[in-house]
Amino acid sequence: MKKLPLHLKILLGMFLGVLFGIIMMQLQGGKDFTLNWIKPLGTIFVNLLKLIAIPLIIASLLKGISDLKDISKFAKIGGRSILIYIGTTVVAISFGLVIVNLI
């Protein structure tokens, strides 16, 4: 059997999560089960993702700096990396806020 690509696994997981939510809302006691047992796990998962994001970015930047052969290039590459990081962060936050407010 052929392995599913990661993007299909993510979409399948999202679909199954929505389907699970719809089914649990229809069952008696399903809402309480979801709030008491499923929601805390989701909250822990999201908090762990938030916790790992910044150290992962900093570690990758430090690894890139340590791989430089000529340290004089650091100012140019470092400044560009910080600007790209800040720029992509602003774009991601703006995009997320627009989508959240539209939905």
Quote the pTM value.
0.54
CA–CA separation, 85 and 17 (whole Å): 32
Nearest to 81 by CA among 51, 101, 103, 61: 61
pLDDT in tens, the chain (103 residues): 689 999 999 999 999 999 999 999 999 998 899 889 999 999 999 999 989 988 998 898 788 777 877 777 677 777 887 889 899 999 999 999 999 999 8
The tokens 């999201």 sit on which residue?
46
